Amino acid sequence: MSYLVLARKWRPKDFADTVGQEHVLQALINALDSGRLHHAYLFSGTRGVGKTTIARILAKALNCEKGVTAEPCGECSACVEIDEGRFVDLIEVDAASKTKVDDTRDLLDNVQYAPARGRYKVYLIDEVHMLSKSSFNALLKTLEEPPPHVKFLLATTDPQKLPVTVLSRCLQFNLKRMTPRLISERLEYICDAESIESEAKALATIARAADGSMRDALSLLDQAIAFCGGKIEESLVAKMLGTIDRDHVVRLLRLLADNDARGIVDAIREIDEQFPNYSRMLEDLARDLQRIAVFQIVGTCDSEDDLNEQEYAEFSEALSAADVQLFYQIAVMGRRDLHLAPDPRSGAEMTLLRMLAFRPVDAADVPAGSGSGTASATRPKKVAQAEPSFTAAESKAREPVQQAQAWVEPDWSTLVATLGLSGAVRLLAINCVFLRRADTTIHLGLDTRSESLLTKQRKDSLAERLSAHFGESLQVDIELGADAGETPVQEETRMADERMEAARQTLEADPNVQALKNMFGAELKADSIELIKPSQSD
């Protein structure tokens, strides 16, 4: 008897044997139990997650000789023939090879006729998004008003390509990618059933390489059985896949945490002897960094596989949150650009060294007399964070807050700039106008359109900053609707409009613009003018 590959041998035969996709299975089971059956179902999801498998099980549930049931017997002629792919009333079509409108019309010519054997005539159209526009038009009328004995089961990996007219006539089910842990547990079950000796870490490696696809995982398991010969071992599976041993990734993370550039170069030299897949190495590194970031925030990490959470706890202490975010971004970008490097090894090596080169540190963090074995002696000082934007009035008054200053009737725009305000409090202040001071109370006016900015907390915070600035206890009273001049925001808007108008007039007067207007009847579009801020060097 010829060998049957695992992906086919272990394809689920009923809903109970199906792994994952509980949200889809529960909906179908409830529909079958209640008899509320739609005429068209659309199953979407990435490859190997069970779209056509669930569709075939649904076809069995509809045509089982026991009756419409969520638990088909699997023994009657209808169930057996569907499992074997020879049931006359289950018409399976690969839309990728049947894209022409004539193919679709031929397919639908027999829709009106009753099923030959079963209860329903079921059309299972795989990769339905590959149909042409004309084919969709031919399908649409039948899909909208099908005969009562017809069910359509559509499967696709790209539902975005389906016309909305088709989508609106189907019940849509989005199948999720399988988690590595779920795949690993299924592989372990199959290995036990097949009497195949295996290591848990080896199956976890296969599960991660499957990238969410159970079918791919079973194909890789078949390959691993052949490659390993007897026992499926992690080292052999890693060699087969070109992946890097988990210990190497952990070592790279430790070297990054220690800021050890020489150690990274040595580690890459050792890793290169295993003929690794450097793209997958950077992928594994990015995945670990993502989980470290999650651990730093919530104190736990649901990694969905057999990786050691204790390692994430250690690295969350050894690396700052900023380092983790930076390393993750560089790993992702380095993996994306790996094909542009002279060779994969140098691309991966430069990606890791770039993490250290751009890692921000304070001068105090650099050890005195650091040797050339680490990058800490040569890394640049931490780059100062970009300063927040200021209004024109604030720009001319960006000086440190002075304490115990004598009261002087203020220019409100200039005063606001010196208070060091931020966030919603600053927003409130720059939308106010100064009215007067009475005793220890500063009266401000606020337009009714900005009333939502006014809260007691923000008003009290503004009073605290004013008190600190003038060195005396002050209160703030804000009157709605009081208008006594321009607010800082209005001033900035007016000045921006004036600059834009001046720029427009300058362009209108430019000889080159005048020549274009005279020669071609051109018109200067005012809304296309953009002011360019001068650089600091200017």
Which pLDDT value is given to residue 385?
37
Mean pLDDT is highest, among 12-16, 402-406, 500-504, for: 12-16
Q: What's the mean pLDDT in 78-90? A: 91
Using 50, 70 and 90 to split pLDDT, how confident is the model at 173? very high
Sequence-ordered list of residues with C-beta below 8 angstroms from that of 198, at least 6 positions apart, any chain: 187, 188, 191, 231, 232
Pick the CATH number of 6-174 from 3.40.50.300, 1.10.1050.10, 3.30.470.10, 3.30.160.60: 3.40.50.300
Cα gap 313→290, rounded to integer Å? 13
Is pLDDT of 311 > 90? no
Q: What residues pair up with 150 in beta bridges, in sequence order?
A: 121
DSSP class of residue 163?
-
Is pLDDT of 15 > 70? yes
Is pLDDT of 349 > 50? yes
Domain map (residue ranges) of the chain: 6-174, 180-214+226-241, 246-362, 389-531
Q: What residues pair up with 124 in beta bridges, in sequence order?
A: 92, 153
Which pLDDT value is given to residue 286?
92
Cα gap 190→122, rounded to integer Å? 31
Pick the CATH number of 180-214+226-241 from 2.10.60.10, 1.10.8.60, 3.20.20.110, 3.40.50.1100: 1.10.8.60
Cα gap 92→94, rounded to integer Å? 7
At the fourth CATH level, the homologous superfamily of domain 389-531 is DNA polymerase III, tau subunit, domain V (3.30.300.150)
Is pLDDT of 148 > 60? yes
Q: What is the pLDDT of residues 101-118, one digit of tens each?
A: 777 787 787 888 888 888
Query: Domain 246-362: which topology?
Result: Zinc Finger, Delta Prime; domain 3 (1.20.272)
Q: Do 65 and 78 meet the contact criterion of CB atoms below 8 Å apart?
A: yes
Q: Do 82 and 74 meet the contact criterion of CB atoms below 8 Å apart?
A: no
Q: What is the pLDDT of residues 180-238, one digit of tens each?
A: 889 999 999 999 999 999 998 889 889 888 888 999 999 999 999 988 887 898 888 88
